[in-house]
Amino acid sequence: MRNFLDEGFLLQSDTAVEIFDAIKDLPIIDYHCHLDPAAIAYNNRFKNITELWLGGDHYKWRLMRASGVPESHITGDAPDPEKFAAWCKTLEVAIGSPLYHWSHMELKQYFGFEGAVTAQNAAEIYVQCNAHIEKEDFNVHSLLKGSRVEWLATTDDPADTLKHHAKISFDKVPGLAKILPTFRPGLLFDPMNVGFEKYIGKLELAANLRGKITDWDSLLAALENRLDFFAQRGCVLSDHALDPPVFDPKANDTLATLAFRKALRGEALSPGEVNAYKTRLFAWLGGEYKKRDWVMQLHMGAMRNNNTRMFTHLGPDTGFDSMGDEAFAGTLARMLDDLENRDALPRTILYALNPTADEMLATMIGNFQGRGIRGRMQWGAPWWFNDNKPGMQKHLITLASLGMLAHFVGMLTDSRSFISYPRHEYFRRILANQLGTWAEDGEFPREMELLKKIARDIAYFNAKEYFG
């Protein structure tokens, strides 16, 4: 029997322990996150552990709501100590939840707390954490350095000025991770949004084209300007939330122009017009990513803002999203095939929120591998609701069974929190244990140097090579 969160946590064999020892201290490449670049640029400090731990963390908010905690103590105006106590009471009985593991790992790494969180010791933990937070060197930069983050990619709109990235680059803080932007054109793919015309005006300003985006060609000219600007700031990734994927084989630039002009006038678009616009825009962007040697990320299968009452009250990204169950394999295949046939398919990472799509994605990437690029197509790390022990285990086993696990680019945080980096340790422990299990069971030779190399590659070196 093991002690809670001891050195052998999640490691079930001596082989697993030895593999983990070889990867536990490797740097971290966090190629997809939602950290605030302004907080990094200005080296933010934190008011207290409630702000740091609970602010914006909809993972925790969902668990608290399920435990009957009133909204006043989640996103409302209850005093911070009471919010923290409510979270501790929730966490105390969250057996089997990744939040139980992550929270304790964060407390141990950043605050030196090694016990178990309970409702009774909430006040003690609150004081201990705040004592650390009040120290002069407890800030965003120290957290990133202490977490061994080598570089990370934020998530940024094409119209963003990237002024915070510019400040980070100009300041050249010794030892600070490289902070790169990611090109995420989500609003561009929502022509039915009431704010679409206003957004296009914002894009015009960013591209110095005020009053000039009137048709398809001028839209693409503005986007080319922004793509070049992001590249100058070090961007190597794009990201699309495809909810759902769309592909119309009959779409052309003429139809896309008609749809775009109607959207600019605030007119309603038919489903066919929307699909034509989205199809052509995605097809063009894919080629631009390939031209710049960027990696394209496609996130699929989220069903967002399901609780209308709470969405009206709190807005998006507040814990009311879930897995969708739309079938999209055929559409995705046609989207990728269209790019491949035009030599416009960039290196691509696919993510799906519903695990029923796991085997589909693990085999889909095999359709478009090749061109002399190792791991050109990737099935991305377990995302969101799959970011847990069984999700990670299933991902490793499925990818090994249907693809090439040894070429996998590894873990990411997909987080808004500056203390979420123990998730990489969590993944590395699960990875080491799975490799160790295969070796211990005689399914792979117990050649330790080879096992360690595979583990090191997945934990760090594959990503370093893949993203350049």
For residues 150 and 262, state if they share a domain.
yes
- Adjacent-strand bridge partners of 352: 300
180 and 69 within one domain? no
- Clarify whether residues 52 and 23 are in a common domain: no
> SS3 for 73?
helix
Are the C-beta atoms of 400 and 124 separated by less than 8 Å?
no
Strand partners, 239: 297
Q: HSE on the CB side for 357, CA within 13 Å?
A: 26
DSSP assignments along 19-71, one per residue: HHHHHTTS-EEE-S----HHHHHTT---S-HHHHHHTT-HHHHHHHHHTT--G
What is the bridge-based pairing of β-strands 302-303 and 178-180?
unpaired
Helix, strand, coil % over all residues of the chain, rounded to 5: 50, 10, 40
Say how many domains are in the chain: 2
Surface-to-core class of residue 265, CB atoms within 10 Å of its CB (0-12 exposed, 13-18 middle, 19+ buried):
exposed
The answer as to whether 190 is a domain residue is yes
Of the residues 138, 169, 196, the one at which a domain ends: 138
> Is residue 67 included in any domain, yes or no?
yes
Per-residue pLDDT, 56: 87
In degrees and rounded to multiples of 5, residue 296 shows phi and psi of -105, 130
Cα R_g (the chain), whole angstroms: 23
Report the distance separating Cα 222 and Cα 212, nearest Å.
Answer: 9
Identify the bridge partners of residue 322 per DSSP, sorted by sequence position: 303
CA distances from 68 to 57, 256, 376, 430 (A): 17, 48, 46, 32
Segment (H or E) for 387: none
**CA of 191: how far to CAs of 199, 209, 270, 347, in Å?**
10, 19, 11, 27
314/202 same-domain check: yes
- State which of 96, 112, 138 marks the end of a domain: 138
Its sign, for the CA torsion 67, 422, 455, 299, is: positive
The residues near 220 (Cβ < 8 Å, ≥ 6 apart) are: 284
Domain shared by 134 and 215, yes or no: no
Q: Which domain holds residue 59?
A: 47-138
* DSSP string computed for 219-252: HHHHHHHHHHHHHHTT--EEEEEESS----TT--
End-to-end CA distance of the chain: 43
**Looking at the domain assignment, is residue 6 inside a domain?**
no
- CA–CA dist 156, 183 (Å, integer): 6
211 and 109 part of one domain: no
Cα–Cα distance measured from residue 242 to residue 351, given in angstroms and rounded to the nearest whole number: 10
Question: Which phi and psi angles does 367 have, rounded to 5°?
Answer: -70, -25
What token pair was written down for 304? 């967002």
Contact (CB, 8 A) for 368 and 334: no
Same domain, residue pair 205 and 217: yes
Do 102 and 233 fall into the same domain? no
Sheet holding 178-180, edge to edge: 28-30, 149-153, 178-180
Q: Find, among 262, 401, 249, the residue nearest to 337 by Cα.
A: 249
**295-300: strand order across its sheet:** 182-183, 237-242, 295-300, 347-352, 377-379
The DSSP H or E segment spanning 171 is helix 163-171
The pLDDT assigned to 50 comes to 97
The CATH number of residue 53's host domain is 1.10.2020.10
Calculated CA dihedral for residues 366, 397, 330, 191, nearest 10 degrees: -100
Report how far apart, in Å, the C-alpha atoms of 270 and of each of 188, 313, 427 are.
17, 30, 44
Q: Are 274 and 332 spatial neighbours (Cβ–Cβ below 8 Å)?
A: no
Residues contacting 41, CB < 8 A, separation 6+ = 164, 165, 167, 168, 171
- Looking at the fold, whether 117 and 167 belong to one and the same domain comes out as no
Residues 130 and 173 placed together within one structural domain of the fold:
no
d(CA 312, CA 320): 11
Residue 3 belongs to a domain = no
Residue 97, in any domain of the structure: yes
Position 224: which residue type?
A: E
- Asked if 52 and 196 sit in the same domain, the reply is no
Please tell me what DSSP assigns to residue 458: I
Q: Which of 120, 138, 156 is the last residue of a domain?
A: 138
In a domain, 234, yes or no: yes
Tell whether 83 and 165 lie within a shared domain: no
pLDDT in tens, the chain (468 residues): 889 999 999 999 999 999 999 999 999 999 999 999 999 999 999 999 999 999 989 999 999 999 999 999 999 999 999 999 999 999 999 999 999 999 999 999 999 999 999 999 999 999 999 999 999 999 999 999 999 999 999 999 999 999 999 999 999 999 999 999 999 999 999 999 989 999 999 999 999 876 789 999 999 999 999 999 999 999 999 999 998 999 999 999 999 999 999 999 999 999 999 999 999 999 999 999 999 999 999 999 999 999 999 999 999 999 999 999 999 999 999 999 999 999 999 999 999 999 999 999 999 999 999 999 999 999 999 999 999 999 999 999 999 999 999 999 999 999 999 999 999 999 999 999 999 999 999 999 999 999 999 999 999 999 999 998
| DSSP H or E stretch at residue 383 | none
Q: What CATH number does residue 362 fall under?
A: 3.20.20.140
In a domain, 7, yes or no: no
- What pLDDT is attached to residue 52? 96
